[in-house]
Structure 1
Amino acid sequence: MMGFKNILVLLIAALSILSGISCTQIKLGPPTRMLSEQEVVDALVGSSIQATRNSNSARMIETARALLKEGKKFTLISVEDLPDDWMVVAAAGGVGGGGAWEYVRERTGQQNLPTIRNTRLQSAQLLSRYLDKKFDAVIRNEAGQAMLSAFQSAIELGVPVVDACLAGRAKPELNLQVSFIHGISGTPAAMVTRWGDEIIIGKAVDDYRLEDLARAVAVASGGGCSIARNPMTGREVKQGVIRGGVSEAILLGRTVREAKEQGEDPIAALVKVIKGYKLFHGIVTRSDERGERGFSWVDVELKGINEHEGHTYKVFVKNENIIAWLDDQPDVMPPDLIYNLDPKTGDAIRSASLGGYPLGTEVVIVGRAASPIWRTPKGIELFGPRHFGYNLDYVPIEELQTKK
């Protein structure tokens, strides 16, 4: 049996060996932080607000709480702490297909063609195999449901979510993201349909063409498919994203929650935090929806109530709220943001259809300035009124509001 002195000698020797190891030889990962359950809930409500369209935060929260109950971690890393050589991917959702090819659904139904689960993860894995690189983090490509999808992908891949966003809002087209403004390509990209078809777009001429190609696949796939895209290094992320997108979502969700808890007006609290504008309070009297060319198009009209009684408000929707008019005069122009909110909760309104406004719904319209990058000449060319077919010069929301 080894005596106490011998054990002590071995222990001292081991400590001597360890003390000789240079600190530079011990590689520690970059700092990350784990979100609390309340932060996760606030982030999902805030992301619904950021989305500039209807959303269903309650359903996302239910899914997130189930993941937390399973012991899953919602981990965040700041852009500043992201290593330059890390590989980051936008694997947070899919491409919609409004006006889908109905006969595809009918035929596949008649064939009893089996569908697969979790095409979101499969698209990320497909892109990883194509690049022969492991992804180190996931980035949110837009607001809304993509917040939950980003964390789901990150949990499945065992990586953190970057505290940033490619758009700072939800947007109808893949090309509408600030990485495109900075010259960072959205390709290579990988798509997986509900039936397991795998499509790689190795190179697109630009992100406009990526949008065309991906949308065509979505429409031909019965109304949507998953896509993983924008593989970027940490260095590229630092120059081609809107920073703090997740942190802002947490802030917005916390703001409306605390206002309600204190018996205060959540809309007023939100407007103050975002330095925005309460533009209209009304009832939805018209919501003409159609699916076409892969998008949900909606023409909305509201009749004013309370302080806006006697006035009308119109919103043009292409998946998201794009441009609005007060009494037929432009009130908000893209790329500035239009939130359609529940006046009692401050959360985004709910609808069964993407971009929809249920008739008879009481809605508060809130506007705010877009991120500065969207207000540059390139940003306005990409996301301004003319991109959506309106022969209007962009006027910032703050100038439009001073003219009232």
Structure 2
Amino acid sequence: MKWLNEEDIEHIAIGASVLGTGGGGDPYIGKLMALHAIRKYGPVQVITMDELKEDHWIVPISGMGSPSVLVEKIPSFEMLMAPLVAYEKASGKKIDIVMPIEIGGVNSLIPVAVAAMKGIPILDGDAMGRAFPEAQMVTFHLDGLKPELVTIADEKGNTVTIEPADGHWSEKIARSITISMGGSSIVADYGVTGTQAKKSVIPGTLTLAKKIGEILKQPRNGAVHPIEQMLTLLDGHQLFRGKAVEIKRGIEGGFTRGKAVFEGCEENNLDSCVLSFQNEHLLAEINNKPIAMTPDLIAVLDEETGMPITTEGLRYGARVIIVAFPANERWRTPIGIETAGPRYFKYPYDYTPLEILIKEFVPS
């Protein structure tokens, strides 16, 4: 995947939506932006971790805010570029490479569009291995790095530059600014050298997203269903099969928060499932007992097509298969669990790995 073509973009959009655990923004919007940028400005080169030079300057670019707002307020090319222009001006450094801050939904493809416009490569990796709702929930933070400089832009031409004390303050200040900007913004933060990136970035996640998309897009004529193939690739598990019967969803504090309730069918016909989300799916409970929890990944797939469904795209009556995958090992460390585990989001559980919860689960 040295250069991204239009088919790659299609596949990454699907795979990133799976890894985005319901969040990261609408992948369809990201796909349209990336495709349009490539057609207008030319193809995008992909750089792998082993191709990085020590002095390369790499900056993540992403959308911040509620995914529900982003659907109504699609960023322009000018809005996408503004944070990078401000970042270079404030830092005095030329950006060599951009990267996704998370491998989820629109935030996997915003950097593709920016790379095409700026004529620079994109890094095959991200700082989460999934999508998380808050700015400090990145591997840079786990390694003790702070965002020395953060630039934020909106569609009205406003650009704000901040120098936060640490990742937590970056989240608080940038989130407040984003709310003032109408609930959606574009952000550049956590600029790192090639040396720092090699230590902190989770490698190969764009390639992984592409593989997932290829699996789910293939014809349904094989002996093994594409969902089963994807679960094998990600060492994942099917948690539940059922129908959405209740969805409570609203915008609160700059996030899309809520719960979705499902009644079971077929092998789960006596079970019920509740998903809790804050932009991303963070907790799955079956029959009032946890079956998967953050930082492990939880995804909702359309039962018929296998396509991922985002938290804002989930509708009453949808027939779904709920799956889960182990998080990258960086998130299963004490600092990873402290940063993005269930207690951080005020869920009443200590983190238990997916593979243990699956073994303990007894269906009704």
Q: Note whether the superposition's TM-score is higher than 0.5.
A: yes
One-letter amino acid of the counterpart of residue 329, structure 2? P
CA contact (8 A) 1:56 1:348 kept: no
Task: Give the one of 169, 174, 177 matched to 1:217.
Answer: 177
One-letter amino acid of the counterpart of residue 367, structure 1? A
Q: 1:116 to 1:320 in 2, by over 3 A?
A: closer
Q: Deviations over 1:310-329 (max 9, x none)?
A: 11000101011001101100
Is 2:195 aligned against 1:235? yes
Distance 2:33 2:42 in 1: 12
Q: Deviations over 1:357-382 (max 9, x none)?
A: 21111111100100000000110110
| Unaligned runs of at least 5 residues, structure 1 | 1-31, 101-114
Task: Give the one of 323, 326, 331 matched to 1:374.
Answer: 331
The secondary structure found in structure 2 opposite 1:370 is: coil
Task: Give the one of 263, 278, 281 matched to 1:321.
Answer: 281
Q: By how many angstroms is 1:58 displaced? A: 4.4
CA contact (8 A) 2:33 2:110 kept: no
Partner of 2:72: none
Distance 1:157 1:98 in 2: 25
Is 2:147 aligned against 1:186? yes
Q: Deviations over 1:205-242 (max 9, x none)?
A: 21011000000001111112211111110111011111
**Structure with the greater alpha carbon radius of gyration:** 1
Task: Give the one of 135, 146, 152 matched to 1:174.
Answer: 135
Distance 2:274 2:101 in 1: 28
The secondary structure found in structure 2 opposite 1:194 is: coil
Distance 1:273 1:99 in 2: 30
Is 2:303 aligned against 1:343? yes
Tell which deviates more after alignment, 338-347 or 159-168. 338-347
Partner of 1:153: 114
Is 2:43 aligned against 1:86? no
Equivalent positions of 1:73-112 (< 5 A) are: 73-91=43-61, 93-97=62-66
Q: By how many angstroms is 1:71 displaced? A: 6.2
One-letter amino acid of the counterpart of residue 253, structure 1? G
Distance 1:128 1:69 in 2: 26
Identity over aligned pairs, percent: 27
CA contact (8 A) 2:175 2:254 kept: yes
Tell which deviates more after alignment, 328-337 or 338-347. 338-347
Tell which deviates more after alignment, 126-135 or 252-261. 252-261
Q: By how many angstroms is 1:172 displaced? A: 0.7
Distance 1:36 1:116 in 2: 21
Distance 2:37 2:300 in 1: 29
Q: By how many angstroms is 1:194 displaced? A: 2.1
Tell which deviates more after alignment, 210-219 or 193-202. 193-202
| Unaligned runs of at least 5 residues, structure 2 | 70-74
The secondary structure found in structure 2 opposite 1:170 is: coil
CA contact (8 A) 2:147 2:191 kept: yes
CA contact (8 A) 1:303 1:313 kept: yes
Q: Deviations over 1:224-262 (max 9, x none)?
A: 221111111011101111111111101111111235364
Q: 1:302 to 1:152 in 2, by over 3 A?
A: same
Distance 1:58 1:191 in 2: 23
One-letter amino acid of the counterpart of residue 118, structure 1? E
Q: Deviations over 1:302-348 (max 9, x none)?
A: 01111111110001010110011011001011110101111222221
CA contact (8 A) 2:34 2:110 kept: no
Q: 1:98 to 1:138 in 2, by over 3 A?
A: closer
CA contact (8 A) 2:33 2:113 kept: no
Q: Deviations over 1:81-102 (max 9, x none)?
A: 11110100011x22215899xx
Tell which deviates more after alignment, 333-342 or 60-69. 60-69
